[in-house]
Amino acid sequence: MSEVRPEFRYTEEHEWAALMADGVIRVGITDHAQNLLGDIVYVELPPVGASAAAMQPIGTIESVKTVSDLFSPVDGIVARVNESLHAMPEAVNEQPYEAGWLVEIRPAGDPSEAMQRLLTAEQYRGALDLLP
């Protein structure tokens, strides 16, 4: 069973979002997503300052199996990218909720409101249960 952390919010596209102390939202892919993708070999992330639109692609993630889009969970501006993934993309597989985070986005509006629009851990678990 994939790990779903109760303190995070989620998208139906299998991204997680965590509200950080400084008001940015840290984004990564879920444990379920990294399991489906297999060994991650490359991550293409947007530049700092790029616009992010909720549920629109902001980059790609490449595994030995496929290339998938990465989606922004919120509207905003990319405040930071995880540069270490260029040299160590496998961190997404090894620690999807820690060292394998992808970007931090400064939301366009209230960060708490942006988070409320996302799935709770319970809702995300329910969505996973419906998958074939």
Structure tokens at 126: 């329910």
* Residue 82: inside a domain: yes
Structure tokens at 11: 């998208």
* Residue 31: inside a domain: yes
**Eight-class DSSP state of 2:** -
* Per-residue model confidence as pLDDT tens digits over 72-88: 999 999 999 999 999 99
Q: Residue 61 sits in which domain range? A: 14-107
The predicted structure's pLDDT at residue 1: 66
Reported pTM: 0.94
* Residue 90: inside a domain: yes
Residue 111 Cα distances to 31, 91, 93, 105, 114, angstroms: 24, 27, 27, 10, 5
* Residue 113: inside a domain: no
Q: SS3 for 3-34, per residue? A: CCCCCCEECCCCEEEEECCCCCEEEEECHHHH
* Per-residue model confidence as pLDDT tens digits over 41-59: 999 999 999 999 999 999 9
Structure tokens at 81: 């990218």
Number of domains in the chain: 1
Residue 131 clears pLDDT 90, i.e. is over it: no
* Residue 57: inside a domain: yes
CA 5 centroid distance within chain = 13
CATH number at residue 55: 2.40.50.100
The predicted structure's pLDDT at residue 57: 97
* Residue 4: inside a domain: no
* Residue 122: inside a domain: no
* Residue 33: inside a domain: yes
Rounded to whole angstroms, the Cα distance separating 93 from 40 reads: 7
